[in-house]
Amino acid sequence: MDMRIGVLVLVFIITTFGFNQQGFIGFSTAQAQEEYEDNTKSKRKTKKTGAMTEKVAKKLQVAQEVIEAEQLEEGIEILNEILELRRLTDYERAQVNYFFAYVAYLKEDYRGAINYYNKVLQEEEVPEGLLSSARYTIAQLWFQLEEWEKAIRAVDDLLANSESPRPDLYILKGSALYQLKKYTEMIPVIRAAIDLSEQRNPFRIQSLQNNIKSVADENR
């Protein structure tokens, strides 16, 4: 695969699989990622995680509701009230910082959001799904800030901590390499994305490969 065809492949992957650096940022991210991790947890050691009290869970639910209603300052007040509670578990602090990160994102304070997501990663007894979600969103935000090298390092950190990486991780990394015009490095990343996608959806990837071949033939 030469560099010109490699670029065409990346473009087709992005358009076919609908990569969007903003599409995964939100409250649903951690839950979706945690469900994905649960499907593959038999492949890795079980990690001890902290508990969440009913009181904190209810406050977080209220915070989520007001934040989604765009009442951000009220949401921040509720989150600060939670932090003032005694004996918060690692998991509870991580969730609060995850919410703070989302508020910062809504305010378009992307670097501030990254700082809060990094606080999530600093906690110990936290579900792997929440950690993976934070790492992935950090990569997306660096991409959104056009900090391509930092986006790549964030993806590499996520890949190093995942035994069952998703294709969109490689799509994100390949997109950043494309922006840096590192086409030679991009090609094996594209191949990895295709291989993983083929394992998960062989019919869709066959259609993608047919499109790639057609365009490649036209550009030889």
Amino acid letter for position 71: Q
Q: What pLDDT does residue 100 have?
A: 97
* Residue of 158, 146, 117 lying closest to 26 (CA atoms): 117
pTM: 0.76
**What is the overall mean pLDDT for the chain?**
79
Q: Which amino acid type is present at position 85?
A: L
Enumerate the H helices of 84-201 as residue ranges: 90-106, 110-122, 128-144, 148-160, 167-179, 183-200
Q: What are phi and psi of 18, to 5 degrees?
A: 65, 40
Q: Are 109 and 100 in contact (CB under 8 A)?
A: no
Helix, strand, or coil (residue 189): helix
Highest mean pLDDT among 152-156, 162-166, 216-220: 152-156
Residue 12 has pLDDT above 70, yes or no: no
Over the stretch 76-112, which tens digit does the pLDDT of each residue have?
Answer: 999 999 999 988 999 999 999 999 999 999 999 999 9
Domains and CATH numbers, the chain: 1-21+128-220 (1.25.40), 48-126 (1.25.40)
Classify the C-alpha dihedral 161-167-173-174 as positive or negative: positive
Alpha helices in 19-127 (DSSP H): 27-40, 54-68, 72-83, 90-106, 110-122
pLDDT score of 163 more than 90: no
DSSP state of 43: G
**More confidently predicted of 151 and 164:** 151
Amino acid occupying residue 201: N
pLDDT of 141 above 80: yes
Q: Is 107 helix (H, G, I), strand (E, B) or coil?
A: coil
Per the CB < 8 A criterion, the answer to whether 40 and 166 are in contact is no
CA torsion, ordered 15, 18, 20, 26, to nearest 10 deg: 180
Buried-state track 132-150, b at ≥16 Cβ within 10 A, e below 16: bbbbbbbbbbbbbeebbeb
Of the candidates 140, 208, 195, 148, the residue with the CA atom closest to the CA atom of residue 167: 195
